[in-house]
Structure 1
Amino acid sequence: MASTIPSTTSSTGSPQINLAQALRRKMQTTVLPGGTVHPEASFTIRMADAYDYSILGDDLDPDDLHEQMIKSNTEIASILTSIPSSEQEAAADDYLLDMLSKMVFGSNYIEQAGCGLEITLKLCRQVFKGEPVPATIDETDSQFAELQSDLLRQGVSPDVQDVLRARREIVQHAKAAVFMIKEVYLSGKDLTEEIILETHRQLTIGIDTEQGYSWTQYSGVYRLLPVCAGLTSFPDADEVPGLMRRMIRNLNKDLETAVRTGTIDPVDLASKYCHQFVNIHPFLDGNGRTCRLILNALLLKYGSFLSCIGQDDETRETYLEIAANSSMNELSSQGDFDDDDVAAPKYYKQLASFILKHATEGMRGFVHALKGNLGEEA
């Protein structure tokens, strides 16, 4: 039987999905023991030669993590594709809500955007459950005081606009996640430039850049100005459209190969195109958060799992160090490519190992949540 996407209707009349329920129902029809199924093919998850064996330290080995990931996938498939109890379904929905909300928190925390964990979880759960969330609040709202206190604890002395911006960075990030996941995973569409542009628009609505550019100038459009991060200078603005076309073309070629072979490594695929996107840096702002939405949309589509990163100082710093080193190596290795050149990115192995670690942890947590409602040890 085809799965349906549960939805509610907002006060404006537009349909709002309960994203966690929709994900769980989708997984019940797509997750297989050791693989996933899609309209175009059934895939067996197989480890690619795409991992760094030093970045995780001596205690963690990507081979072992990949084996654990497949084991967890098989256990999740066994439970979700049988007849789960209502308690198990509720546990799955709650766990997915938590993972989605922590995904937003961690991605915001990497960029020092948004606010603290508690208020982020509260706002994200509203968005992901399809509940109406006011576009703005005023100083009399209890949520305003909560946001203000949270920013003060972080050492920020916020004015009204700082508080409203922090809230908007959370809400719009969650809305952008709903859009991309719905398009790429729930609706089964291929990732396209149009989906990426609209995701970025949703992410940045009402949020001006720190350099003073209005959101109306950069939201959902490729940049027309040079950008850099630290010592890394990204491609010229006039190269961005061609590089984005090439990225999507490369992704489609990789997927054609996966369909032909019947095997896929979701972590390899998602890490590769997260890395490639951020090294194009197609937008004036919001590139990091958009790249991690691409990452998790591809992980869901081809692996039925999420990877939440950046939730604390240690993982944030590790991620930023990996990203900076990978970008410097990648961009320094590139020559001048024609638009038809399909040279693949090379320096994403450290990122892949980092994502694998967190994806595996997330899947083990999902197994524990499901088995806890069977009275079993996870």
Structure 2
Amino acid sequence: MTYQRITELDTTEISYDEATVEAVRGSWGELRAGLDPDTLETLDARLRRRWSIETGLIEGLYTIDRGITRTLIEHGLHADLIGHGSSDVSGIELVTVVQDHDDAFELLVQIVAHERPLTTSFIKELHALLTRHEDSTVAKEAGTGRLVRIPLLRGEWKQQPNNPERPDGTVHEYAPVLDVSSEMSNLVDWHSGHKHSHVESVIEAAWLHHRFTQIHPFQDGNGRVARSLASVVLLRNGLLPHVVDRDERVRYIAALEAADDGDLNPLVN
């Protein structure tokens, strides 16, 4: 698939269940308003830990069974809670990566609380935090096509192509290295403009997620950043963050592919 430059949001062919969105927004707000501070803090911490675990799972950074997932969500990110064989990485390695995600989510909360605008500098800061303990990633070597490990440039735009090869041998092209800066500038500028035109939050979250994914500006870690940006939009508008459960991965990928073909509705809904 040849890279196509990102396009502005066109809402004319997007439909969604507005009543359901408003019902969720109202119920979530009422629930939070009725909780005492300690209970609310516990709820937020568990929600943050669930988001932090699932966003790495969906990318294949690690595996972890559901029982241990529930334990970590309820009791905290502690390596000694992770039993032997419950993950494909060590407990310390798992907790280190998930804690980075957890800290990144706290950054999202602070962004929302302080009404900080979404800028390219913030996106770079977010990426650096999400990948704080990741030193390298896999890339294709120019000329040979061999897969080699290269340094992961945390918080910096990619310096090499990161186009994946599909099982059928076709290549999915993301933004060329030299186009990343201009494409990301367009993305944040258009997003800023959407706030003034009162675009519904679930539509904006889906558009922002997809267009960022379309660019793929970092060498690695783009999926986690995309879900983070969608979460910022939703949190700003009184909704829950964007969590993709491991069982929803196939449907999630299909929705992104539909958006590649011009249909944002599956991702919105």
Q: TM-score, normalised by structure 1?
A: 0.57
CA distance in 2, matches of 1:168, 1:244: 29
Corresponding residue number in structure 1 for 2:197: 257
CA distance in 1, matches of 2:157, 2:201: 27
Q: Is the 8 A contact 1:223 1:282 kept in 2?
A: yes
CA distance in 2, matches of 1:85, 1:284: 42
Written as runs of structure 1 = structure 2, the 5 A alignment for 1:28-177 is: 51=14, 62-63=16-17, 66-78=18-30, 80=32, 84=34, 86=36, 89-116=37-64, 117-119=66-68, 142=80, 146=82, 148-151=84-87, 156=88, 164-177=92-105
CA distance in 2, matches of 1:119, 1:199: 27
How far did residue 291 of structure 1 move?
0.3
Corresponding residue number in structure 2 for 1:321: 254
Corresponding residue number in structure 1 for 2:6: none
CA distance in 1, matches of 2:94, 2:35: 39
CA distance in 1, matches of 2:13, 2:235: 19
State which structure, 1 or 2, has the greater radius of gyration over its C-alpha atoms: 1
CA distance in 1, matches of 2:259, 2:67: 32
How far did residue 78 of structure 1 move?
4.7
CA distance in 2, matches of 1:238, 1:302: 34
How far did residue 250 of structure 1 move?
0.4
Given residue 251 of structure 2, which amino acid in structure 1 is its aligned partner?
T
How far did residue 293 of structure 1 move?
0.6
CA distance in 2, matches of 1:77, 1:325: 32
CA distance in 2, matches of 1:51, 1:110: 26
Corresponding residue number in structure 2 for 1:300: 235
Q: Is the 8 A contact 2:128 2:154 kept in 1?
A: yes
How far did residue 208 of structure 1 move?
2.9
Q: Provide structure 2 residue ranges, at least 5 long, that are not aligned to the other structure.
A: 1-10, 139-148
CA distance in 1, matches of 2:31, 2:255: 36
Aligned to 1:213, the other structure's residue is in SS state strand
RMSD: 2.8
State how many pairs are aligned.
243
CA distance in 2, matches of 1:100, 1:181: 10
CA distance in 2, matches of 1:171, 1:122: 15
CA distance in 2, matches of 1:105, 1:244: 27
Change (3 A) 1:250 1:180: same
% identical equivalent positions: 17
CA distance in 2, matches of 1:321, 1:97: 30
Corresponding residue number in structure 2 for 1:222: 157
Given residue 80 of structure 2, which amino acid in structure 1 is its aligned partner?
S
Q: TM-score, normalised by structure 2?
A: 0.78
Q: Is the 8 A contact 1:114 1:170 kept in 2?
A: no
How far did residue 210 of structure 1 move?
4.0
Corresponding residue number in structure 1 for 2:109: 181
Q: Answer yes or no: is 1:278 the counterpart of 2:240.
A: no
Given residue 69 of structure 1, which amino acid in structure 2 is its aligned partner?
V
How far did residue 148 of structure 1 move?
4.5
Given residue 175 of structure 1, which amino acid in structure 2 is its aligned partner?
D
CA distance in 1, matches of 2:69, 2:227: 17
CA distance in 2, matches of 1:85, 1:180: 22
Written as runs of structure 1 = structure 2, the 5 A alignment for 1:354-365 is: none
